[in-house]
Structure 1
Amino acid sequence: MTLKNLLVAYNGGEASDTALHLGALMSRKYDAHLTGIVAHGVSNIVQNFPPWLAQKVAASLDDIIAGRVTELEDRFRSYLDGKVDPDKQHWIDVHADPDRTISFYTRMFDVTVLGQYENLPAADEYTLHPDRIAHASGRPILVAPKRFRPTEINESAVIAWDGKRNASRALFDAMNILETKRMVTIVTVGDKSVHRETKGIDLPTLLARHGVEAKHVVVPRGSGGTARTILDFCMEQKTGLLVMGAFGHSKLSEDLFGGVTKHILREAEIPVFVSH
């Protein structure tokens, strides 16, 4: 089975544009349908209006929102013109909380592509939080970094592996993509004692049975911590994709103290495929 239904969360931000660019490359590679979705809630400004004023401006705001959504759809279709078959382009507009909406829609698609977190002060009602969506959706997401515009997909990948549940989930969720890669490297940070060995089988053997040539390497944790070590390794390998499990610790813990998932999703300069 290959990828046939891709969803791109599109809000017009810089990172959103890179997600659309990546989605178009993937659509062409896999001959897949590409659906764009914009989800827009209520802006913080409007929420703070007094009730009497909110009622008076509601009609005007509806017109502004409708105009903005039309503009986003036009940009979406204009970018895909000549890149994706018109019969395989689709558009969805949902007036509801962005994170909750995208998390819900991801459950109907093979992969959802969205941009790194970015602050949209003039359009906060469109803001997306990739970490929240990854945690809530139950489906894999692919986070595109800002200013990521390769002319073609880099056919190498790195899998971050610590032997835990979330790492395994990400690896097998990404198998349809990994099967198309020319080179795959599995990286464990620290040493192999950080995860339980499986007697009689290893990851390169499992991947070989899927037609994927892979090697497993162990790298020492650098002074910048696990996240920085993984990102630096990806840069050294000139890889085009990082596959990783999300939230080895609790989401609350990462929100309060930071963590590998949040650090990588904010700092990566290559696409990151995550599952939780």
Structure 2
Amino acid sequence: MICKTLLVHLDDSTHSAARTEFALDLARRYDAHLIGLYVVCPDMTRPFFLQDEGAWIAMHDARRDANLKTAQERFLAAAAQAGLSSVEWRAPEGSAVDVTVLHARHADLLVLGQHDPEDPSSYISRHFVEDVVMSSGRPAIVLPYAGTVHTFAQSVLIAWDGSRESARALADALPVIKHAKFVTVVTVETGPTHGEPAGIDVAAWLERHNIQAGFATAPRVSGVSAGSLLLNMLTDRHIDLVVMGAYGHARVQERLLGGMTRTMLQSMTVPVLMSH
């Protein structure tokens, strides 16, 4: 994958500015075109009692238009301040997931944000990030809502389970991790492997791409999900990027892994590069 077109999701949340700054930095790094895609939750919830429904709708539309204008001005101002001229603003109408997926398919890499339960403006739709990742056919870097991203892709953990999804994510991540100082391929013990390729084989494949990687096996702990095991490793290894496959809600693999996709999206503390 060559990153020449990046797409960052923008909304009215307090975290939109951080995503913009992160995406601008990536665009400079890859000399890429950056698309700012403004998509928010189409909240049209009306109060139970309205004396003038027309006035309420007009007020709602005015607030929506003002928010859109503010978001556009902030995005373009941040791009100008960063010295990035190849930027584009888009604010399509329609279903939040559908329009995001459509525009995402014309980009190489997406920048999305974890849902913040304390910020109502960060809610777009249920399972928004998962649906976009699994329907767009594009890799996405999901930023955590808590904390600040001080470093990125310097110490990388690759969650490897031998699945199609993890293979896709690792291939998509190559341009992002090629300058990492530390890369570790981590597998979670699930039982006898019967000679299947494991972490050491992935590390050898990465070495042929000029990426030096170590490998480790996390022992399975009864009652602890694979996602929780990986989360516990992030601080110990000073990880600043996780690379992993994304699994659907109803897939058998998702249940066997203990809902690793869901666990990471709910509890991530560092950026996660996901691909389906």
**Structure 2 partner of 1:197:** 196
Q: CA RMSD in A?
A: 3.2
**Shift in Å, 1:19:** 2.0
Please, which moves more after superposition, 174-183 or 4-13?
A: 174-183
> Unpaired runs of 5+ in structure 1?
none
Mapped partners of 1:66, 1:160: distance in 2: 42
**Structure 1 partner of 2:40:** 40
Task: Give runs of aligned pairs for residues 202-213 of structure 1, distance below 5 A.
Answer: 202-213=201-212
Give, as a single letter, the amino acid of the residue that structure 2 aligns with 1:106. A
**Structure 2 partner of 1:118:** 116
**Structure 2 partner of 1:175:** 174
Cα distance change of structure 1 residues 52 and 97 upon mapping to structure 2, 3 Å threshold: farther
**Structure 1 partner of 2:220:** 221
Cα distance change of structure 1 residues 82 and 220 upon mapping to structure 2, 3 Å threshold: same
> Once the two structures are superposed, what CA deviation does each residue of 1:147-199 show, in whole Å capped at 9, x if it has no partner?
44334434121110011111111111112212232221100012673586149
**SS of structure 1 residue aligned to 2:94:** coil
**Structure 1 partner of 2:62:** 63
Mapped partners of 1:129, 1:210: distance in 2: 33
On the 8 A contact 2:4/2:30 being kept in 1, the answer is yes
**SS of structure 2 residue aligned to 1:45:** coil
> Does 2:1 match 1:22?
no
**Structure 2 partner of 1:149:** 148
**Structure 2 partner of 1:162:** 161
**Shift in Å, 1:212:** 0.7
> Unpaired runs of 5+ in structure 2?
none
Cα distance change of structure 1 residues 227 and 43 upon mapping to structure 2, 3 Å threshold: same
Mapped partners of 1:195, 1:164: distance in 2: 16
Task: Give runs of aligned pairs for residues 97-136 of structure 1, distance below 5 A.
Answer: 97-119=95-117, 120-121=119-120, 129-136=128-135
Mapped partners of 1:43, 1:253: distance in 2: 34
Cα distance change of structure 1 residues 2 and 42 upon mapping to structure 2, 3 Å threshold: closer
* TM-score calculated relative to the size of structure 1: 0.85
**Shift in Å, 1:49:** 7.3
> Once the two structures are superposed, what CA deviation does each residue of 1:63-97 show, in whole Å capped at 9, x if it has no partner?
22111100111222333343241x12221111222
**Structure 2 partner of 1:93:** 91
**Shift in Å, 1:130:** 1.1
Mapped partners of 1:25, 1:266: distance in 2: 25
Larger helix share, 1 or 2: 1
Mapped partners of 2:120, 2:226: distance in 1: 32
Give, as a single letter, the amino acid of the residue that structure 1 aligns with 2:67. R
**Shift in Å, 1:60:** 3.6
**Shift in Å, 1:50:** 9.2
* TM-score calculated relative to the size of structure 2: 0.85
Mapped partners of 1:154, 1:261: distance in 2: 20
> Once the two structures are superposed, what CA deviation does each residue of 1:110-162 show, in whole Å capped at 9, x if it has no partner?
11101101345368668872122222222111100014433443412111001
Cα distance change of structure 1 residues 16 and 154 upon mapping to structure 2, 3 Å threshold: same
**Structure 2 partner of 1:12:** 12
Mapped partners of 2:78, 2:54: distance in 1: 37
Give, as a single letter, the amino acid of the residue that structure 2 aligns with 1:101. V
Number of aligned positions between the proteins? 272
Mapped partners of 1:212, 1:28: distance in 2: 22
Give, as a single letter, the amino acid of the residue that structure 1 aligns with 2:201. D
Cα distance change of structure 1 residues 60 and 37 upon mapping to structure 2, 3 Å threshold: same
